[in-house]
Structure 1
Amino acid sequence: MLGPDLVIVAVNEAYLDATQCTREDLLGRHVFEAFPDNPADPKATGTRNLRASLERVLETGERDSMALQKYDIPVPGELCAPDDGVPDDSAPDEGAPDDSASDDGVPYDGDDCAEGAGEGAGEGAGQDGGGGRGSRDGGRFEERYWSPINIPVLGPDGAVQWIIHRVEDVTDFVRGHAGAPPTSTDAMDADLYTRALELQELNERLREAHARERATALALQQAMLPALVPGLHLRVAVRYRPAIGSLNVCGDWYEVSELADGRIAAAVGDVVGQGLAAACVMGQLRSALSAAIRAVGGPAEALEALGLYARSVDGALAATAVQAVIDRSERTIVYSCAGHPPPLLLQAEGDVVPLDQATDPPLGARLDHVPRPQATCPYTPGGILVLYTDGLIERRNEDIDVGLGRLAKSLSRHRELAPEPLADALLVDLGVTGGTVADDTALVVIGL
């Protein structure tokens, strides 16, 4: 069992018997210090592949099954015994497979083995094993082939607390029977191993490309999404949760800004699509709407202008948006929706009112230009305005009205909270605080 720093924190008795080591030899050592690559094999990739798998487990919190691996291990009798110059006659022969240990020295029952906690596993951690620990730094290695699975153990906060490294020894399968002449089965085994390595290498390249595109998309999105402007005289909380495990990180946007006459403009929107293309479209639409609301008379005219502009932007059709303008002197909210879920207004008296009296199709959906609707809703000081994207309320195999009702109930239940804690409470109640979510979620909570 490994800690998040990949240090061995627990071993069982069978493991110690198989490697002829004591706990003092292994506990507290980094897994790649205890089991390094074979220095005599310049093509060794065992540590590199295992490290990549363990890092994926730490990053995603999900189990990772590796392809067939060649990972030579130190010969136990030579590398764990005290370095006194006297050969250990009890050490297994170098060429003989040890049925009590896996490829990385981890004991197992039957076909499987694991590094796990045994009785007294924590004893002796970090201590020097009387010469045994230092003597593992050099010596002979035995060729081994194995198929590992790395399984996370999550803590109460959802973070990876431990990793169980479980392997299946497939050395005999790859080698075939010792001393037997090559057969067609041996050739198939060798071909299987070669193709497994090729597949793993291809998967690694795909993962790296995916990670690069995701990192670039996130950086681009963060540059395009505005920071909240200080001095709005409003309490505003913003939350953005990208979809996990996908490149759908760039479809949503939000903006809260002050207009020249002192009114507050708040908008959220959602672009169809994923990846860098969606990021570019999002940036163009957000900027266009931000400019339009400053140049025209109200939200409806701003969305009309945005709809016309969307027709000239590849990937912008069917995008949705809602624009609201808060007039604190009149205590009103003027709004218009283009295919977007309605904002919710929590009145100071406790009533939750959906702003759904000015809904229209998504941007660019109409062939002919038709003026968009606009509505006005009064509010009392102390209320809360909530704008969001559909990732907050939409669930597979569930009507969107169910999610909208869930959000309204949560808003009413937490009506005494200020915008910052309220935003967190809404995310918890709607189930988008962790794990895998299907869509991006943008949430803007404004105290009125």
Structure 2
Amino acid sequence: MNDMAIDYTAVFRGLPGMVALLTPELVYADVNEDFLRATGRRREQVVGRHIFDVFPENPDNPASQGMRNVESSMLRVVATGERDTMALQRYDVEYPDRPGQWEERYWSPVNAPVLGPDGKVVLVMHRVEEVTELIRARGGPQNSRARILEAELYTRARELQELNERLRQAHAREREVALALQEAMLPAHRQVGDHRAAVRYRPAVGALNVCGDWYDVVDLVGGHRLGVSVGDVVGHGLAAAGVMGQLRSALTATSRVAEGPAQALDVLGRYAHVVDGAESATAVTTFVDFDRRTITYSSAGHPPPALVHPDGRVEFLDKATDPPLDARPDPAPRPQATITFTEGATLVLYTDGLIERRHEDIDTGLSRLADTLGRHREADPENLADTVLLELLPPGGATDDTALIIVRL
């Protein structure tokens, strides 16, 4: 093997599944054989051409936004150098031999950067999984919204099942795998448009550096909106982390296409029924609309988010609570509630490790949190997050995992 030169061009073109390489200007640099076969195009019709020259939007269907969404994702990859997994997308693809005639397709895309020696993005790798037949087999366009949710969950579940299998095979390297999984599943702090967000994660004392607590921030489709969520899976270590990864990815996917947080948790609850280890898992998700200055929220057995008003008043969002994700044998629609906020308010989501202590009423922990948030309300999110952990967690570490996310509105 050491004496054999590997033809990486041949390897790329032989990759299973649809894969394309594009320049930062979104011009196709190369595509593999499955990409050509699935799209019905020849190499010379694709390579060297801009993405919208090859796959234009359907002018007769203004609702077809698949290619525009892909463009936005790719430009984020170029700007940040970070991988971007997209929600399931509907495309209207023009027949190559019948101009003006379009076919409805459903693709699940992932865009990843290819970095040059200087660390800058030189190519965008675009991988696509085709799920059109699954959509059609499940009821066609008349049920497209529900089928998109189902197909997206199916795609993410299959990817995460593969991840769990690799984790089991890597038992001898458990700690290294745990660190890598934490970094992949729990993103670092980020700037959310004009709004600052801070995240923190603290494993329980004696646990691996990864656990069943998770958080997520996701840009929502339509308007200036943001989804902010936290969740908690029972247990520690790689088994809990695998379940955490499945639930977090599923909620991310459903949030992007759900009508509201209650529907997102409805779908997640149904999914939790088929995930081993998801028993008693909890989650809370909030949809923040910055244009309307509203927060719509729903909770599945999770401690309530806190809204810190600019005047220091702390309000717990507890008007839409429901049992944990897998609590009902027959899932029912979950409640949701909406509250308004003023500019400069702060949204705080957390897991129970932050507030719960043995032999202590939970209201005591909530009061302690409210006091800290009110006194330090003017601190920026990063400093506020550090202060909350310093004042609320025991000096020697907590016996339960803790996740915390703070967004300045």
Q: TM-score, normalised by structure 1?
A: 0.51
Query: Is 2:210 the counterpart of 1:249?
Result: yes
Q: CA deviation at 1:210?
A: 10
Of the candidates 340, 345, 351, which is equivalent to residue 383 of structure 1? 345
**2:216–2:229 CA contact under 8 A, matched in 1:** yes
Q: Per the alignment, in what secondary structure is the counterpart of residue 397 of structure 2?
A: coil
* Paired letter, 1:271: V
* d(CA) in 2 for partners of 1:336, 1:367: 20
Q: Per the alignment, in what secondary structure is the counterpart of residue 333 of structure 2?
A: coil
* d(CA) in 1 for partners of 2:192, 2:391: 30
Partner of 2:242: 280
Partner of 1:269: 231
- Structure 1: any 5+ residue segments left out of the alignment? 1-208
Of the candidates 383, 386, 406, which is equivalent to residue 424 of structure 1? 386
Q: CA deviation at 1:215?
A: 3.7
Q: CA deviation at 1:222?
A: 1.8
* d(CA) in 1 for partners of 2:251, 2:272: 10
Q: Per the alignment, in what secondary structure is the counterpart of residue 334 of structure 1?
A: strand
The alpha-carbon distance between structure 1 residues 231 and 269, as it changes in their structure 2 partners (threshold 3 A), is closer
* d(CA) in 2 for partners of 1:399, 1:232: 38
Partner of 2:198: 237
Deviations 1:377-409 (A, max 9, x none): 111111111000001001111111111110011
Deviations 1:273-329 (A, max 9, x none): 121111110000000000001111000000000000000000012100000011011
Partner of 1:369: 331
Partner of 1:322: 284
* d(CA) in 2 for partners of 1:436, 1:353: 27
* d(CA) in 2 for partners of 1:388, 1:367: 27
**2:312–2:375 CA contact under 8 A, matched in 1:** no
The alpha-carbon distance between structure 1 residues 396 and 423, as it changes in their structure 2 partners (threshold 3 A), is same
Q: CA deviation at 1:247?
A: 3.6
Partner of 1:171: none
Deviations 1:232-287 (A, max 9, x none): 22111111111121248311111112112220110000001121111110000000
Q: Per the alignment, in what secondary structure is the counterpart of residue 184 of structure 2?
A: helix
The alpha-carbon distance between structure 1 residues 248 and 338, as it changes in their structure 2 partners (threshold 3 A), is farther
Q: CA deviation at 1:231?
A: 4.8
**1:243–1:249 CA contact under 8 A, matched in 2:** no
| Identity, % of aligned positions | 62
Query: Is 2:326 the counterpart of 1:359?
Result: no
Partner of 1:213: 174
Deviations 1:48-79 (A, max 9, x none): xxxxxxxxxxxxxxxxxxxxxxxxxxxxxxxx
Q: Per the alignment, in what secondary structure is the counterpart of residue 234 of structure 2?
A: coil
1:102-113 correspondence to structure 2 within 5 Å: none
Q: CA deviation at 1:411?
A: 0.6
Partner of 2:260: 298
* Paired letter, 1:270: D
Partner of 2:183: 222
The alpha-carbon distance between structure 1 residues 323 and 430, as it changes in their structure 2 partners (threshold 3 A), is same
Q: Per the alignment, in what secondary structure is the counterpart of residue 235 of structure 2?
A: coil
Q: Per the alignment, in what secondary structure is the counterpart of residue 276 of structure 2?
A: coil
Deviations 1:111-170 (A, max 9, x none): xxxxxxxxxxxxxxxxxxxxxxxxxxxxxxxxxxxxxxxxxxxxxxxxxxxxxxxxxxxx
**1:345–1:353 CA contact under 8 A, matched in 2:** yes
Q: CA deviation at 1:227?
A: 4.0
**1:252–1:269 CA contact under 8 A, matched in 2:** yes
Partner of 1:338: 300
Of the candidates 367, 370, 395, which is equivalent to residue 408 of structure 1? 370
Structure with more of its chain in strand, by fraction: 2
* Paired letter, 2:393: G
Q: CA deviation at 1:228?
A: 4.7
* d(CA) in 2 for partners of 1:322, 1:331: 19
Query: Is 2:224 the counterpart of 1:260?
Result: no
Q: CA deviation at 1:213?
A: 2.8
**2:179–2:209 CA contact under 8 A, matched in 1:** no
The alpha-carbon distance between structure 1 residues 350 and 219, as it changes in their structure 2 partners (threshold 3 A), is same
* Paired letter, 2:263: E
The alpha-carbon distance between structure 1 residues 387 and 211, as it changes in their structure 2 partners (threshold 3 A), is farther
Q: Per the alignment, in what secondary structure is the counterpart of residue 341 of structure 1?
A: coil
**2:219–2:256 CA contact under 8 A, matched in 1:** no
* d(CA) in 2 for partners of 1:289, 1:231: 19
Partner of 2:120: none
Q: Per the alignment, in what secondary structure is the counterpart of residue 260 of structure 1?
A: coil
Q: CA deviation at 1:419?
A: 0.9
RMSD of aligned residue pairs (Cα, Å): 1.9
Q: Per the alignment, in what secondary structure is the counterpart of residue 216 of structure 1?
A: helix
Q: CA deviation at 1:226?
A: 3.0
Deviations 1:86-122 (A, max 9, x none): xxxxxxxxxxxxxxxxxxxxxxxxxxxxxxxxxxxxx
* d(CA) in 1 for partners of 2:336, 2:225: 17
In our comparison, the structure showing a higher alpha carbon Rg is 1
* Paired letter, 1:341: P
Count of residue pairs the alignment pairs up: 239
Q: Per the alignment, in what secondary structure is the counterpart of residue 356 of structure 1?
A: coil
* d(CA) in 2 for partners of 1:352, 1:436: 26
* d(CA) in 2 for partners of 1:282, 1:231: 23
